[in-house]
Amino acid sequence: MNLGVYAVGTGNHVSGWRFPGAAKSSEEFAIFKTIADSCERGKLDFLFVGDSLAFVPEQHPGQMLRFEPLTLHAALATQTSRVGLVATASTTYSAPFNIARAFASLDKLSGGRAGWNVVTTGLKEAAGNFGMAAPMDHATRYESATEFVEVVQGLWDSWEEGAITTNVETGEYFDKTKVHSLDHVGEFYSVRGPLNVTRTPQGQPVLVQAGASDDGKNFASRFAEMIFASQLDKEHAKEFYATMKAKVAEAGRNPDHCKILPGFMPIVGRNEEDARKKLSELMRLAVPEVALKMMSSRFGHDLSGYDLDGPVPDLPLSNDIQTHAKVAFAKARKDNLTLRDIYNQVAVARGYLFACGDAATVADVMEEWFADRACDGFVLVPPYFPAAFDEFIDQVVPELQRRGIFRTEYSGFTLREHLGLPVPANRYSERTP
Ligand SMILES: Cc1cc2nc3c(=O)[nH]c(=O)nc-3n(C[C@H](O)[C@H](O)[C@H](O)COP(=O)(O)O)c2cc1C
């Protein structure tokens, strides 16, 4: 299976940072370096850094304040040698040329380990930071994101392999026939090109995507090489997995070249009782108002007026993120859950799947989902760092290795090699006889 970690200095549990010994900031390089070292010790595929473009007081502490992801990864690239570096960047509030250039640079700086988590940013607080009164509507965000990614991919192909000749004798630095302008004029963007960075070690950085609304799924089927999924129920995850693999095939791509990895929170103890004790302590430390606000932001609606012991209300999907609400509503309907059940799930794992127990119990859940084709692996969302992640690396990873479902050594260097993804052909080289 493929495994990565969603790195948040303050941990992914709503009260993770309050746990004894836990890191308390997402603005310290040292904690990210520690997480990256653990990734490489455990032979993980990637370290994933999410992002937000506004300070929102009711957000999870790890989302309120954080490093800009590409800047962080540029620093991590110098301190690591194998782990993939996935950074989140927004299509709504960036220019394609900047994004193409920044990720191409990271791919070169890291020796082929860059991945881009493409997000459209529906967060209403972000609009005001970019001179807009309100976010673009959901459908338009995905339409412009589609054109944005087409342009970025076009720019990444600007330079064919071998374009740099550095002929000291003749003074020819590059072969003009192997450099191509894009001359794109579309509905949302006009970009001339070529990019001022040559072809990168991976050909193109890996494209990652996380939205699972209908528009999000269409977008993913065209572009995503890895989907960061959010699933709470194995049967729903199997449906999502089968649907997405079929949609990828319909889009003319190989379904094996789109890895589907749900978020997963492991709470690992020496035994069941020890793990349960950790979970109870985390829940004891959770501030109810904060957890409630977090649940409201996950759903895109203020839920403070609803009875926690009543049914999950039937609410329309919001303009921001639809995925988490869809997944939680479906699970609530299937298992007849109350709002409190969902609250507990969101407070614990921000709405992702979680397992609590000894290493074998946690590995059992992962193996079952993997074997039943509910996923190709997981994005780990540890409740706090570094201890909870290290317990996973040092206890659960060896268990997965013993079962033969996770690598014992890296067999490649690039993120594409870790994920079993091909290097995309350069569109211009393909045409050359
Ligand atoms: C699991 C998951 C992780 C996400 N991480 C981020 C993130 O770090 N930053 C961000 O701006 N948006 C993030 N998003 C938002 C999506 O990328 C997408 O823009 C948003 O979900 C709207 O699409 P949807 O309605 O299809 O869910 C995430 C969404 C999901 C489901």
DSSP helix/strand/coil, 390: helix
The answer, yes or no, to whether any atom of ligand 1 lies below 6 A from the CB of 228, is yes
- Please give the distance, rounded to the nearest whole angstrom, from the Cα atom of residue 217 to the centre of ligand 1: 12
Domain assignment present for residue 170? The answer is no
Nearest atom within ligand 1 for CA of residue 322: 25
Element spanning 92, H or E? none
The CA distance from 160 to 150, in Å, is 17
Nearest CA to ligand 1 atom 18: 211
The answer, yes or no, to whether any atom of ligand 1 lies below 6 A from the CB of 2, is no
Spatial CA neighbour of 303 closest among 331, 363, 276, 343: 343
Domain assignment present for residue 300? The answer is no
Copy the structure tokens of residue 405.
């479902």
Task: Give the model's pLDDT for residue 432.
Answer: 46
Mutate to test the pocket of ligand 1, among 70, 142, 321 (most ligand atoms within 8 A of CB): 321
pLDDT at 161 over 50: yes
Domain assignment present for residue 327? The answer is no
Spatial CA neighbour of 383 closest among 3, 14, 5: 14
- Please give the distance, rounded to the nearest whole angstrom, from the Cα atom of residue 163 to the centre of ligand 1: 37
Rounded mean pLDDT of 381-400?
A: 98
- Please give the distance, rounded to the nearest whole angstrom, from the Cα atom of residue 118 to the centre of ligand 1: 9
The answer, yes or no, to whether any atom of ligand 1 lies below 6 A from the CB of 59, is no
- What is the domain extent for residue 23? 2-156+197-271+352-431
Most confident of 56-70, 129-143, 348-362: 129-143
The answer, yes or no, to whether any atom of ligand 1 lies below 6 A from the CB of 135, is no
The answer, yes or no, to whether any atom of ligand 1 lies below 6 A from the CB of 203, is no
pLDDT at 163 over 60: yes
Q: What average pLDDT does the structure give for the chain? A: 94
pLDDT at 329 over 60: yes
Nearest CA to ligand 1 atom 13: 119
Longest CA–CA span in the chain (Å) reads 80
Report, in this order, helix, strand and coil percent for the chain, each rounded to 5. 45, 15, 40
- Please give the distance, rounded to the nearest whole angstrom, from the Cα atom of residue 351 to the centre of ligand 1: 13
Nearest CA to ligand 1 atom 9: 51
Nearest atom within ligand 1 for CA of residue 53: 11
Please, which pLDDT band fits residue 431 given cuts at 50, 70 and 90? low
- Please give the distance, rounded to the nearest whole angstrom, from the Cα atom of residue 177 to the centre of ligand 1: 40
Domain assignment present for residue 296? The answer is no
pLDDT at 397 over 60: yes
Task: Give the model's pLDDT for residue 393.
Answer: 98
The CA distance from 348 to 383, in Å, is 8
Task: Give the model's pLDDT for residue 236.
Answer: 93
Please, which pLDDT band fits residue 433 given cuts at 50, 70 and 90? very low
Nearest atom within ligand 1 for CA of residue 324: 31
Copy the structure tokens of residue 10.
């303050």
- The residue to which tokens 């035994």 are assigned: 271
What sign for the dihedral angle of Cα 411, 415, 421, 425? negative
Q: What is the CATH number of the domain that holds 380?
A: 3.20.20.30
- Please give the distance, rounded to the nearest whole angstrom, from the Cα atom of residue 310 to the centre of ligand 1: 28
The answer, yes or no, to whether any atom of ligand 1 lies below 6 A from the CB of 146, is no
Predicted structure pTM score: 0.95
The answer, yes or no, to whether any atom of ligand 1 lies below 6 A from the CB of 210, is yes
Nearest atom within ligand 1 for CA of residue 121: 11
- Give the helix ranges, DSSP H, for 78-187: 96-109, 124-127, 138-156
The structural domain count of the chain equals 1
Rounded mean pLDDT of 154-181?
A: 98
Q: Which residues contact 327 (CB under 8 A, 6 or more apart)?
A: 212, 230, 231, 232, 236, 351
Mutate to test the pocket of ligand 1, among 149, 323, 380 (most ligand atoms within 8 A of CB): 323
What confidence tens digit (pLDDT) does each residue in 123-160 have? 999 999 999 999 999 999 999 999 999 999 999 999 99
- Please give the distance, rounded to the nearest whole angstrom, from the Cα atom of residue 269 to the centre of ligand 1: 31
Nearest CA to ligand 1 atom 16: 211
The answer, yes or no, to whether any atom of ligand 1 lies below 6 A from the CB of 322, is yes
Nearest CA to ligand 1 atom 23: 211
Task: Give the model's pLDDT for residue 49.
Answer: 98
Domain assignment present for residue 192? The answer is no
Which amino acid is residue 30, in one-letter code?
A
pLDDT at 406 over 80: yes
Task: Give the model's pLDDT for residue 144.
Answer: 98
The answer, yes or no, to whether any atom of ligand 1 lies below 6 A from the CB of 110, is no
Domain assignment present for residue 21? The answer is yes
Domain assignment present for residue 290? The answer is no
DSSP helix/strand/coil, 116: strand
- Please give the distance, rounded to the nearest whole angstrom, from the Cα atom of residue 93 to the centre of ligand 1: 14
The CA distance from 214 to 344, in Å, is 27
Domain assignment present for residue 91? The answer is yes
Copy the structure tokens of residue 253.
């791509």
- Of the listed ranges 71-75, 100-104, 349-353, the least confidently predicted one is 349-353
The answer, yes or no, to whether any atom of ligand 1 lies below 6 A from the CB of 122, is yes
Nearest atom within ligand 1 for CA of residue 326: 27
